[in-house]
Amino acid sequence: MARLGVAAGCLLAGATLTGCVTNPITGQQQFSIVGRSDLLALAKQAAPSQFASDYGVAQDAQANAYVARVGRKLVGTLKPVDVVYPDMPFNFQVVNAVYVNAYAFPDGTIAITRGMLAELENEAQLAAVLGHEIAHVNCGHTASALSKGVVYNALVSGTQGYLQNKGSSWADLAGTAGQLGSAVALARYSRVQERQADQGGMAYMVRAGYDPQGMVELQQLLVRISGANPSALERMFATHPMSAERLQTAQARIQTEYAGQNRGVNNQAAFLAATARIRGNQAAFKHFSAAERQLAQKQFAAARVSAEQGLLLAPNDYVGLMLLAQANQKGGNLAGARQAAALAAQVNPSGARAQGVLAQCALQSQDYATALAHLDAFERQVPGEARTPFYRGLAYEGQGRSQLAARAYRAYVARSGANSPEGQYAARRLQQLAPNPRPTR
Ligand SMILES: [Zn+2]
């Protein structure tokens, strides 16, 4: 954590060079952490990892086009005074993940999970979600949070693995180290920023002709889910703090600022039609969510059963197949893992995590050439993922290519440090494979 403080401090020091910007919601001056081109670079680095972690963009052209249309309608209402950074290339995606969340990157790349879409009831509620995320981008919240978040990601990406045996060989490591494509690069916001994002989101949706009641309904829905199934919202609340106050504030705004403007639309029929396929899988999502929870708790047999139950309802669902593959792999059933991941890769050829699991399975079976081929495929989908060099190091070592292995371990340690079990292993092997020359006396 000490390193996080230092790195964030460096970024803040840089801010004095970048200067002040006006927060478009509050009108107050705030530091701009990074310049526009840095924001685009940050987003380019972080978004592919997060999308891979969320099992990629949903293969549902209708839902994606619809969400993009609603997003563009909101962006179309923005005025120069609304934005800290002009002309961000806003884009909107549905990601396959089944947990409930939506998030933004500082370039205006905005994603909503299938799990969240399945819970919403109309287009005004969707506009409230997207408007909230657009406001985070416009206020520069995402920029400052992510510039810290990327540092955080680099630190935790090596520590999420759960190596049980520190002295274990590379073959054991391949099976027990953290999953490729499971790093999290999401910005975390303060309650003050949440208030501003709700305020901005509500303003945009009203301008776009939506009933502001959609924001109230969204907050009610989140309160309802958090009571019934708190774990479904764990990640959403970690990144967007929720409170009863947010609901009360939205209700108060309907009575004051937006009194008499409640004639906007909620386009429920259009929403239900465009999201029919996703909502139709809601029962399967519940099983998949259970499988995710069980995987996190290392209950691999239970996770496999949950994934299989979900797949009965949503056959060949990419998330379901990947959960089954992970449950099998972690549970020691390599053949089952390979079969599920291969089918997942067939169902979704751009699915990075399937390539990650196939690479890990190949390493465990000591099939290094196949492992490297899958790592290449993974890297094409997710360039710059923190863990990829670690797995490359394992594969090269297996092939006896010491120099390539040392180079890969060096890259891993340089990026993610040597504190995690993977980092410790990589640093140790680096010393053994390419020891520093002894100082001459
Ligand atoms: Zn938020």
pTM for this model (two decimals): 0.84
CA of 116 to the centre of ligand 1 (A): 14
CA of 240 to the centre of ligand 1 (A): 4
Q: Could you read off the pLDDT tens digit of each residue along the chain, which spans 441 residues?
A: 222 222 221 122 222 223 445 666 666 655 455 677 777 877 777 788 889 889 999 999 999 999 999 999 999 999 888 887 888 899 999 999 999 999 998 889 999 999 999 999 999 999 999 999 999 999 888 776 655 544 334 333 333 333 333 334 544 555 555 666 666 667 778 888 889 999 999 999 999 999 999 999 999 998 888 877 777 777 777 777 777 888 999 999 999 999 876 678 999 999 999 999 999 999 999 999 999 999 989 999 999 999 999 999 999 999 999 999 999 999 999 999 999 999 999 999 989 999 999 999 999 999 999 999 999 999 999 887 888 999 999 999 999 999 999 999 999 998 888 888 888 899 999 999 877 655 544
- Both tokens assigned to 118: 């399945």
DSSP 86: T
Report how far ligand 1's centroid is from the alpha carbon of 132 (Å). 6
For residue 434, how far is its CA from the centre of ligand 1 (angstroms)? 47
Q: How far is the CA of 352 from the centre of ligand 1 (A)?
A: 27
* Sheet bearing 102-104, strands edge to edge: 91-95, 109-113, 102-104
Q: Determine the distance separating the centroid of ligand 1 and the alpha carbon of 146, expressed in angstroms.
A: 13
- Looking at this protein, which amino acid is placed at residue 30? Q
Burial 135-172, CB ≥16 within 10 A → b, else e? bbbbbbbbbbbbbbbbbbbbbbbbeebebeeeebebee
CA distance 396 to 407: 10
CA distance 78 to 201: 11
Longest dimension (CA), the chain: 85
For residue 73, report the distance from its CA to the centre of ligand 1, in Å: 20
Question: What is the 5 CA–ligand 1 centroid distance (Å)?
Answer: 23
CA distance 250 to 389: 47
C-alpha of residue 272 to centroid of ligand 1, in Å: 25
**How many whole angstroms from 201 Cα to the centroid of ligand 1?**
10
CA of 276 from ligand 1 middle (Å) equals: 26
Distance 111 CA to ligand 1 centre (A): 13
**Ligand 1 centre and the CA of 207: distance in Å?**
20
Q: What's the CA-to-centroid distance between 133 and ligand 1, angstroms?
A: 6
* Centre of ligand 1 from the C-alpha of residue 283, in Å: 27
Taking the centre of ligand 1 as the mean of its atom positions, its distance from the CA of residue 197, in whole angstroms, is: 6
